[in-house]
Amino acid sequence: MPRTPVWKSIAETLSEEIAKGHYRPGDKLPTEAKLASRFGVNRHTVRHALSDLTERGITRSRRGAGVFVQSAPVEYPIGKRVRFHQNIRATGRLPDKNVLRIETRPCDATEAAALALSEGDEVLVYEGLSLSGGAPIAHFISIFPTVRTPGLRAAFEEISSVTEALKSIGIGDYIRAETRVSAERASTTQALHLNLRDGEPLLRTVSLNTTPDGTPIERGITWFAGERVTLTVTPDSVTPG
Amino acid sequence: MPRTPVWKSIAETLSEEIAKGHYRPGDKLPTEAKLASRFGVNRHTVRHALSDLTERGITRSRRGAGVFVQSAPVEYPIGKRVRFHQNIRATGRLPDKNVLRIETRPCDATEAAALALSEGDEVLVYEGLSLSGGAPIAHFISIFPTVRTPGLRAAFEEISSVTEALKSIGIGDYIRAETRVSAERASTTQALHLNLRDGEPLLRTVSLNTTPDGTPIERGITWFAGERVTLTVTPDSVTPG
């Protein structure tokens, strides 16, 4: 088995200490000199470990001020009602969206099956970035059957929240029927969008939202920055209410 | 924005066609010569695209026979009762486990909080690989409070299934109280265990199982090979029953 490089095991030790709360979000880590002395290595090795933590989003380096612990990952409940703006607000951060694309096109066979449409039926495509406290945490592409969501395209020109846009066209409630979660590596484009390095791990969810009577209205694919977001599943979060 | 290399866009096209079912699990892909002609590139470029698909676990190359589509990802429901052996059997594959470690040690503060123990209380550590149809799909480390699971260590020497081992010591039912899902990159050790390349994406779940009366009995961390496993969450799968 290959030997773990020293900088890597230092990075692991520090990230475990952060995970356990020995250093908390906002805390400044000890100086390079102090860490070098603690681990019995030179400052170059410490710098390597610290830049690894920063690249992984665990710490943030502020020039001249030191290295600080980043906020904990955003906890994102996957329940019966999944609402982006509400989920982010619940963490004390400001939710926002950057819209990348709003357009209509014919749906393909997979989308038709998911949305109970015929292949080639028109869908509205809404693509963008989800921000939490100004930082991008996810890239999403949602599609809506235009026949069931008249006026939604115009609504999205004004309103970035899916919940609010649907409400504005008379769809007051919707329910998460299914979420499928896998992991994949960020593409070059996604890495640029999400401030990640190429190939960083993403959590990919494919979701189906329906009206309360079970009519599909949205199929969404979302790629969450996998080390910044934790999806939580509890029986309670999926119980009606 | 950097230009996508040709081999990569060919790999994307083929993986989409596989995802859409144009090529199904077990199907042989067209020969290199046919793909080169279809995409208007040389065979070297096709080979690059095909080896990318194989490295991502989407296809399997069989020397002299060609390139075949791999089975679809294992669908793994995260519900109120999560049972590895049952989940895998439901996909028509044989479940199995390779045990890496069975030992006892004092728990740390995070584990104590999750399991409602005091820091330093003894826990039983059960670490291993979960196999589906002979292929490793996950690396897991579970801990059990020894005070609430007397005899479990001996049971694991005979029985690899957690459900069956718990049953043998008189715990006939347990419930998934919470699952937290994030994505991270495979460590060198995990890559070796799961037949992945270093840094491939993993789905990491941290779960808590309790007895029906709410007493914590197992905290598990599982790293699923992210491109081979899809976790599914539906309201039904989390409803009692």
Q: What is the CATH number of the domain that holds A147?
A: 3.40.1410.10
Among the candidates B14, B44, B69, a domain finishes at B69
Q: Who has greater pLDDT, A79 or B46?
A: B46
The amino acid at residue A67 is V
CA–CA gap between residue B96 and residue B98 (Å, rounded) = 7
Rounded to a whole number of angstroms, the distance from the CA of B202 to the nearest CA of chain A is: 6
- Chain B residues closer than 8 Å to A111 by CB: none
Per-position b or e across A164-195, b if 16+ CB within 10 A of its CB: ebbebeebeebbbbbbbbbbbbbbeebbebbe
Whether B1 is in a domain gets the answer: no
CB contact under 8 A, B192 and A1: yes
Among the candidates B69, B89, B117, a domain finishes at B69
Q: Which residues of chain B have pLDDT under 70?
A: 1-2, 21, 71-72, 235-241
Pair B13, B84 in one domain: no
CA–CA gap between residue A51 and residue A61 (Å, rounded) = 8
Residue of A nearest to B109 (CA): A20
Pair A81, A105 in one domain: yes
Pair B109, B60 in one domain: no
Residues pairing with B204 in the sheet: B182, B223
CB contact under 8 A, A181 and B108: no
Q: Dmax of chain A from CA atoms?
A: 66
* H or E segment to which residue B207 belongs: strand B201-210
Q: Who has greater pLDDT, A82 or B153?
A: B153
Q: Under a CB-based contact definition with an 8 Å cutoff, are residues B50 and B59 in contact?
A: yes
Whether B218 is in a domain gets the answer: yes
Residues pairing with A180 in the sheet: A206, B232
The amino acid at residue B40 is G
A80 touching B (Cβ < 8 Å): yes
Interface confidence, given as ipTM, is: 0.71
Q: pLDDT digits over B150-188, tens only?
A: 999 999 999 999 999 999 999 999 999 999 999 988 888
Q: Give the count of beta carbons closer than 10 Å to the beta carbon of residue A45.
A: 18
Pair B216, B138 in one domain: yes
Please check the confidence at residue A85 and state whether its pLDDT lies above 70: yes
Q: Give the count of beta carbons closer than 10 Å to the beta carbon of residue B119.
A: 12
Q: Who has greater pLDDT, A233 or B118?
A: B118
Rounded to a whole number of angstroms, the distance from the CA of B68 to the nearest CA of chain A is: 21
Confidence of residue A239 (pLDDT cuts 50, 70, 90): very low
CA–CA gap between residue A196 and residue A202 (Å, rounded) = 10
Helices and strands counted in chain A (H then E): 9, 10
pLDDT at B236: 57
Pair A117, A182 in one domain: yes
What Cα–Cα distance (Å) separates residue A221 from each residue in A45, A147, A196, A209, B183?
Answer: 40, 20, 19, 11, 16
CB contact under 8 A, B4 and A188: yes
Pair A32, A113 in one domain: no
CA–CA gap between residue B140 and residue A201 (Å, rounded) = 19
CB contact under 8 A, A183 and B227: yes
Q: Which residues contact B206 (CB under 8 A, 6 or more apart)?
A: B179, B180, B219, B220, B221
Mean pLDDT of A218-240: 79
Mean pLDDT of A76-102: 86
CB contact under 8 A, A232 and B178: yes
A108 touching B (Cβ < 8 Å): yes
Confidence of residue A56 (pLDDT cuts 50, 70, 90): confident
Pair A78, A63 in one domain: no
Task: For residue A208, give the nearest of A177, A239, A174, A231 by alpha carbon.
Answer: A177
Pair A100, A196 in one domain: yes
- Chain A residues closer than 8 Å to B100 by CB: none
Among the candidates A69, A91, A120, a domain finishes at A69
CA–CA gap between residue A90 and residue A107 (Å, rounded) = 34
Tell me the H-state helices in chain B. 6-19, 32-39, 43-55, 84-89, 109-115, 152-158, 162-168, 188-193, 235-238
A77 touching B (Cβ < 8 Å): no
Whether B152 is in a domain gets the answer: yes
Cα-based angle A127, B234, A72 (whole degrees, multiple of 5): 60
Pair A42, A101 in one domain: no
Q: What is the DSSP letter of A28?
A: B
Candidate from A80, A182, A233 with C-beta closest to B78:
A233
Pair A184, A87 in one domain: yes
Please check the confidence at residue A240 and state whether its pLDDT lies above 60: no
pLDDT at A27: 81
β-pairing, A74-77 vs A229-233, is parallel
Q: pLDDT digits over A101-122, tens only?
A: 999 999 998 899 999 999 999 9
pLDDT at B72: 67
Whether A47 is in a domain gets the answer: yes
CB contact under 8 A, B203 and A181: yes
Whether A33 is in a domain gets the answer: yes
pLDDT at A236: 56
pLDDT at A241: 31
Q: Is the alpha carbon torsion for A112, A115, A116, A122 positive or negative? A: negative
Q: Under a CB-based contact definition with an 8 Å cutoff, are residues A119 and A108 in contact?
A: yes
A232 touching B (Cβ < 8 Å): yes
Candidate from B109, B226, B238 with C-beta closest to A184:
B226
Cα A191 to its chain centre, rounded Å, is: 12
Q: Residue B24's domain is classified under what CATH number? A: 1.10.10.10
Task: For residue A69, give the nearest of A29, A107, A106 by alpha carbon.
Answer: A29
Pair B42, B83 in one domain: no
Pair B229, B148 in one domain: yes
A19 touching B (Cβ < 8 Å): yes
pLDDT at B240: 37
A152 touching B (Cβ < 8 Å): no
Tally of domains within chain B = 2
Residues pairing with A126 in the sheet: A102, A142
Whether A144 is in a domain gets the answer: yes
Whether A159 is in a domain gets the answer: yes
Domain of residue A15 covers 6-69
Whether A1 is in a domain gets the answer: no
A241 touching B (Cβ < 8 Å): no
Q: Dmax of chain B from CA atoms?
A: 66
Candidate from A180, A227, A231 with C-beta closest to B184:
A227
